[in-house]
Amino acid sequence: MKHKLEEIKNYFVEELEKAQNDADLKNLEINTIWKAGRLNEILKGLKDLDVEAKKEIWVEANSLKNFILDNIEIKREELAKKAFSEIEESEKLDVSLEFPSKDKGHMHPLSITSKLLEDIFISLGFKIEDGPQIEKEEYNFDKLNIPDNHPARDVWDTFWLSDDINSSKESGEKLLLRTHTSPVQVRTMLSQELPLKIIVPWRVFRFEQEDARHTSNFYQLEWLVVWEGVSFWDLKWTLDTVMKKLLWDDTVIRFRPSIFPFTEPSAEIDVQCKLCQGKWCRMCSGSGWVELLWAWMVHPKVLADCGVDPEKYSGFAFWMWIDRIASQRFSVSSSRLFYQSKLKLNEQF
């Protein structure tokens, strides 16, 4: 009988080695220690033995049963661990891997230029102001000394909003897409304490014939200083400082006298074309110069209309074309390219 117990043990060890999964283990358990199993078959013969032999075989059979149960449990844990590591291997995901750089987003060249300008002005103590892109005629023109029927309005080909769209307007008020950032000057002078040092970046709209320098919406940056006793000298010093920080050291700048209705005196400021070094390209139309800024002393009437005492305060202001500055900085031959969502262009910067 002992010999048979030994056989069962050997059978069990052999089959346990072959077991691949839970089902195999369950079958092995059934075949060995369950009611119809091999061990039970042997125990059925116990009745023919004497008491001592019965006792001895009973103890050994129990010990074999425990051996089988313990080893099935150990094998079950081993198989579970193995299955888990196989899943782990097949579904491996290394979250520390670097994201492919070609899929990274980045700033648009106009945003890069605008951010650079904002940083320069903030370092000089300017505050950033913003205003609505749909503007009142009063702020876009009237309060800037450009009343209705003034010929200067022709300079700005304006997108007017139809009365159907303007359902929220006040009686007699006309709305438009702002043609420049100057309405924010008016809004700021009317609402804030003096003195003022502000910049107004962002989008304006003109009904323009598009070419290398002109687009129907573009990005402007305006700056305004209203202070006691500021003069054209302060204007030139500020411009010089900003241009040195913004463009390259050997930039050649020229001032041309100009006249705007809301200014006195005023100048247009050109830089020598970086794209063709003053020879010929589409950006400068062969002149060798690109108009980047308008600069002016604020007209006393504009100050008075905005509630500022022109006897006490004076002011100066600039407009610059962010698009044209970006073209010069990045050597892009036409401002229009910035609005055409061309990844090939944008990814270079």
Residue nearest Zn ion by beta-carbon distance: 273
Distances (CA, A) of 250 to 73, 233, 253, 289: 83, 22, 9, 14
Nearer to Zn ion (CB atom), residue 145 or residue 272:
272
Least distance to Zn ion from the beta carbon of 94, Å?
Answer: 50
- Burial class from Cβ neighbours inside 10 Å (0-12, 13-18, 19+) for residue 203 reads middle
Question: Among candidates 147, 189, 224, which has minimal Cα distance to 309?
Answer: 189
Least distance to Zn ion from the beta carbon of 271, Å?
Answer: 10
Least distance to Zn ion from the beta carbon of 251, Å?
Answer: 14
Least distance to Zn ion from the beta carbon of 286, Å?
Answer: 8
Nearer to Zn ion (CB atom), residue 38 or residue 336:
336
Least distance to Zn ion from the beta carbon of 338, Å?
Answer: 17
Nearer to Zn ion (CB atom), residue 209 or residue 277:
277
Please name the residues in contact with 277: beta carbons below 8 A apart, sequence gap of 6 or more. none
Angle (CA) 319-321-322 rounded to 5° is: 120
User: Strand 196-205 and strand 127-128: pairing?
Assistant: parallel
Return d(Cα 187, Cα 183) in angstroms, integer.
6
- Buried-state track 285-322, b at ≥16 Cβ within 10 A, e below 16: eeebbbbbbbbbbbbbebbebbebeeeebbbbbbbbbb
Return d(Cα 97, Cα 105) in angstroms, integer.
18
Least distance to Zn ion from the beta carbon of 110, Å?
Answer: 20
Q: What is the DSSP letter of 214?
A: -
Nearer to Zn ion (CB atom), residue 271 or residue 281:
281
Least distance to Zn ion from the beta carbon of 344, Å?
Answer: 22
Nearer to Zn ion (CB atom), residue 176 or residue 271:
271
Nearer to Zn ion (CB atom), residue 283 or residue 293:
283
Return d(Cα 197, Cα 187) in angstroms, integer.
14
- Burial class from Cβ neighbours inside 10 Å (0-12, 13-18, 19+) for residue 131 reads middle
* Chain residues in the site for Zn ion (CB under 5 A): 273, 275-276, 281, 283-284
Nearer to Zn ion (CB atom), residue 235 or residue 273:
273
CA 205 to chain CA centroid, nearest Å: 24
